[in-house]
Amino acid sequence: MSDQSNAEKDPSDWVTGDEPATGAQESYLHTLAGEAKEDVPDGLTKAEASQMIEELQSKTGRGQ
C-alpha cells in the first residue's frame, strides 16, 4: 500500500478524477488564468483542473 496522500497522487490515478471540476477548482483556475492571461476551457474534470492549476501556478509563481 502506498503512503502517498491523495494530494500527492497523479490526478490521472484519482478515483474521482473524471468527475466535474469543483467550484473551488474553477474559481482558483479563473484567478490563475487571469494572471497568466490564459483561457480556461469549459467542462474540465477534477483531474484536468488539477493539472491545469499546477501548470498555471508554475507560470504565475503561485503555490510555490
What digits encode the pLDDT tens for the residues 23-46? 999 999 999 999 999 999 999 999
The answer to pTM > 0.85 is: no
Domain carrying residue 54: 22-34+44-64
Name the residue with cell 473551488: 24
Q: Which of 42, 40, 41, 35 is nearest to 58 (CA)?
A: 35
Cell digits for 19?
A: 468527475
Q: Return the pLDDT at 8.
A: 66
Residue 62 lies in a domain: yes
Is 40 in contact with 29 (CB distance < 8 Å)?
Answer: yes
Domain count, the chain: 1
Residue 2 lies in a domain: no
| 13 compared with 28, residue with greater pLDDT | 28
Neighbours of 32 (CB within 10 A): 22
Q: Is 45 helix (H, G, I), strand (E, B) or coil?
A: strand
Residue 26 lies in a domain: yes
Q: Return the pLDDT at 43.
A: 96
Residue 6 lies in a domain: no
Q: Is the pLDDT of residue 6 over 90?
A: no
